[in-house]
Amino acid sequence: MRTCRRALTVLALTLPLAAMGAVPVVDDNSGSAGSSYPPSGYGTAGAYAGGGATAQPSAQGQLFMQLQQMQDEISRLRGIVEVQQNDIQQMKQEALDRYKDLDSRIGAGGAAAPAANNSSSDGAVNAGGNSVAPAAGGASQAPQTSSEPGDPAKEKLYYDAAFDLIKAKDFDKASQAFAAFLRKYPNSQYAGNAQYWLGEVNLAKGDLQGAGQAFAKVSQLYPKHAKVPDSLYKLADVERRLGHTDKVKGILQQVVAQYPGTSAAQLAQRDLQRL
The structure's pTM equals 0.54
Each residue of 38-80: pLDDT tens digit? 454 444 444 444 444 555 668 888 888 888 888 888 888 888 8
Reduce the secondary structure of 112-164 to three states and give it as a string: CCCCCECCCCCCCECCCCCECCCCCCCHHHCCCCCCCCCCHHHHHHHHHHHHH
In the chain, what percentage of residues exceed pLDDT 90? 42
Q: What's the pLDDT score for residue 145? A: 45
CB atoms within 10 A of CB 259: 22
pLDDT tens per residue, range 109-155: 544 445 444 333 333 344 333 433 333 333 334 444 445 566 888 99
- Region of 274 please: left (phi>0), alpha (psi -120 to 50) or beta: alpha
